Chains A and B, each alone.
Chain A
């Protein structure tokens, strides 16, 4: 299986409700004592583009093996796209047009 470089979007009540309404609550995973997280996969090309477009983010290869420290506003947009498209595979569309 190809390696993925996920983005973790942590879920509060507001985000949870929108996912539930869209019938997507089943996509959530639980981590750290029951915290809900939406794990959006990225491939290597998408990961590199994310890190290039958002230099404050970093790929944490030592511990979480995920793309971390993306600003909330960016994650809000990715999250909204997941809800709208009803799929986790949104990164190509999200990154299209971004330099």
Chain B
């Protein structure tokens, strides 16, 4: 069945599943190893996470993305998806426009890259227009400045599907597979919670708030019966490049799932999945990109809190909301749900929305840093702010996957196995 993705365009699926056909297709092609970054993006393109783009962007799309926040054809697009390459690599691999090359990863075939274009682009222009700054300490800018001399544009076709390792295996779903799951669940409204965190109660209440807002005017009677929900929350964890001090991906995915397993969400209204994407920390522009990805997954709504996908003090707390509000509905069909912070109020004795509670002076705001500090001290937080089951899974993940720490350490960066690998075709 033909599925529709972002921009009202058909969902991109450029995957050759038949191994014999794939082997035939790649016979005689030049091979070129893809970096981990580029392999991750190639996989995202081929499965349609970035529909409607079918490959790495050419110069016209990069130009339009930077300057107008759209593709050359006018489709809303906020972050360039580019393949960088050095002049030496172009010479060494004999790369020419009009050729197809076989990208490899882990030494094995990954994807066919039909090269339409070799071009240069001013990295400072990308930095300023996408990230709003030229400062290299911004991680997205640093990534941009680290790009090599030139870029290649052209379509990607996956010939060898990546193997996702445990414990991530059940959580990696392609856009088509996401949609099949939603159909199976009979969900008509699905709200995305974008995360790279182990959840505290503030996050949990944001999700509950977003669920209620997304369900909106839909009927509620059938929800009295377990298994009959028609709306759901998708926690879509971003798995990609990590920085020291981040939570390890294993802890993020497993603790988010624990919220449902431990009953804080009903079985029929909550689901966890993951998307491979290296965070750019582009704040408002990244929020638009998240809308694009989740539209392609088949979601109807997307939650946005304060400081969405930002870093440091580069963006105002609600800058992502302002940018999303400026985009016409027909250009970005997913509906944003804007949420305020939830905090603990000792007067009420509960976690509450700062937009509802009048005890402002007493309110104790959640701080991700403070909660990380409590966890580092190995102190079990009170259940009102951090569910005990979530704490237990966090510490279990630390032992099993994090070399003793639930946070990314030098040892984790050096020794942890990548979330996906590519085997022989």
Contacts and interface: CB of A to CB of B under 8 A. Distances in A.
B370 A33 contact: no
B376 A69 contact: yes
A5 to B, nearest CB: 14
Among B346, B365, B376, chain A packs the most CB atoms within 10 A around the CB of B376
Contacts of A11: 379
A98 interface: no
A9 B377 contact: yes
Interface stretch (A41-49, A57-65, A86-94): A57-65
B384 A68 contact: no
A32 interface: yes
Contacts of B9: none
Interface string A69-97: 11110010000000000000000000000
Interface in A5-37: 8-12, 31-35
Nearest to B377: A10
Contact of A32 (B244, B369, B370, B377): B370
B225 interface: no
A30 to B, nearest CB: 8
A56 interface: yes
Given A10-B374, A68-B370, A32 B379 contact: no
B381 A12 contact: no
A69 B244 CA distance: 11
A32 B363 CA distance: 9
Interface string B227-261: 00000000000000000110000000000000000
Given A32-B364, A33-B364, A72 B372 contact: no
A10 B378 CA distance: 9
A65 B420 CA distance: 38
A64 B346 CA distance: 18
A28 to B, nearest CB: 13
A68 B374 contact: no
Given A35-B382, A75-B377, A69 B245 contact: yes
Interface in B351-379: 364-367, 369-374, 376-379
A12 B380 CA distance: 7
A35 B391 CA distance: 15
22 contacts: A8-B370, A9-B377, A10-B373, A10-B374, A11-B379, A32-B344, A32-B364, A32-B370, A32-B371, A33-B384, A34-B382, A35-B379, A60-B369, A63-B370, A64-B367, A64-B369, A64-B370, A68-B370, A69-B245, A69-B369, A69-B372, A69-B376
Interface of B: 244-245, 313, 344, 346, 364-367, 369-374, 376-382, 384-385
